[in-house]
Each structure stands twice: as structure tokens, then as C-alpha cells.
Amino acid sequence: MVSREDRVKRFAHFMNWVAAASIFGMMLLTTTDVVLRYFRRPIPGTYEIVGFLGSIAVGFALASTSVNRAHVAVSILFQRLPPKAQTFVDAFNSLVAAGFFGILTWQCGALAEDLRQAGEVSMTLEMPFYPFVYGISAGCAMLAVTLFVDFLDALKTFARR
């Protein structure tokens, strides 16, 4: 049976693949634009699309980066704490961060809705902004879920000790 943690992790890594594809797309699009510009046929709106892809690249990688513990943290004093205190601090940190990214999910959603109703679009391609803001919101939601699972994990370890 696939545990809840595993399912969360798998989905986080799946989102990371979408992010990776965005970076690859940024590379291809920009390179093509540079080459075509040489023949006086630049791709209009490259600048905008690359920015949008960038937001997906970072937003969708948030959760997976957290699962892999790749966000930089300072562990020099933390390591000196007794194990029980370590788990407690871990649980506390995960819960606070999960709460923060929960709020951010909600706020990005609200911002997206505002942008949609105001009909804000980009300058050259007239592409709407709001889907990408929803994208960031989704990335934050997934990060909040991952952090909450970390919190539950830490609680379990804490109870066992």
C-alpha cells in the first residue's frame, strides 16, 4: 500500500518535472529567439513567456525542493540540541512554515482572482496574468501540504521518544 507520505512526495516530484520542463522550454525559446533575431524574425513576446515560464519553474519546484531538504538551512547549533528537543523544534518549524504557505496560497489565489476580474494582460501578447498566479498558488499549496506532513512526521517521532 502506498502511504500518505509517499503519495505526497510523488506528487511533489511530479510537479518538479513540470518545473524542469519549464526551464528547458525557457532555454529553447530564448535560444530560438536569439537565432531568429539574426534573420530579423524575432519571436514576439519571448520576454513575457520566459517570465511566465520562470514563475512555473520556481512555483512548481517548491514542494519537491522541500521534500529533498534542498532549501538552505543553518544546522550548526541545532545539531547540539538533544534529540527530543530537535524533533520538537522541527515540528514547530514545519507547522509555522506550513501555516505561512497556507496563507500565501490563499493570498495568491485572491491576487489571481483580482487580476482576472480586472482583465490584466501582458503588453505584447495580451496574455492574461492570472493563470500563472494561480500556478504559484498551487505550488504554495503543495508546499504547505508537504510541510504539514513533515509536521505530522515530527509529532509521531516526538511521541515515540
Partner 1 sequence: MSPITTGILGIVLLVVLLFSKMSVGFVMAILGFVGFSYLVSLEAGLSLIAKDFFDIFSSYSLTVIPLFILMGQIAFHAGISRRLYDTAFKLTGRLPGGLAIATVAACAGFSAISGSTNATAATMATVALPEMRRYGYDMRLATGTVAAGGSLGILIPPSVIFIVYGIMTEQSIGKLFAAGILPGCVLSLLFAATIFIRVRRHPSWAPRGPSVAWREKIRSFAGVVETLILFLLVMGGMFFGIFTPTEAAAVGAFCTLMLAVIRRQLSWRSLLKSLVESTRISCMVMVIVTGATVFGHFLAVTTLPMALASWVKGLPLPPPAIMGVIVLVYLVGGCFMDALGMIMLTIPIFYPVALAMGFDPIWFGVVIVLVTEMGVITPPVGVNVYVVKGIAATVPLETIFRGALPFVISLCILVALLLLFPNLALWLPSLMR
**Measured from the CB of residue 153, what is the shortest distance to partner 1 in angstroms?**
15
Residues 6+ away with beta carbon under 8 Å from 43: 29, 32, 33, 36
- DSSP bridge pairs for 121: 128
Which residues in the 68-127 window bind partner 1 by CB under 8 A?
68, 70-78, 89-90, 92-93, 96-97, 100, 103-104, 107-108, 110-111
Residues 6+ away with beta carbon under 8 Å from 87: 154, 157, 158, 161
How far is residue 156's CA from residue 62's CA, in Å, rounded to a whole number? 24
**Measured from the CB of residue 1, what is the shortest distance to partner 1 in angstroms?**
27
Residues 6+ away with beta carbon under 8 Å from 52: 127, 132
**Measured from the CB of residue 110, what is the shortest distance to partner 1 in angstroms?**
7
**Measured from the CB of residue 71, what is the shortest distance to partner 1 in angstroms?**
4
Residue 131 near partner 1 by CB under 8 A: no
Which residues in the 25-54 window bind partner 1 by CB under 8 A?
26-31, 33-34, 47-48, 50-54
Phi, psi of 121 (to 5 degrees): -130, 165
Give the binding-site size for partner 1 (rule: CB under 8 A). 57
**Residue 1, SS3?**
coil
**Contacts with partner 1, residue ranges (CB under 8 A):** 16-17, 19-20, 23-24, 26-31, 33-34, 47-48, 50-55, 57-59, 61-62, 64-66, 68, 70-78, 89-90, 92-93, 96-97, 100, 103-104, 107-108, 110-111, 132-133, 136, 140
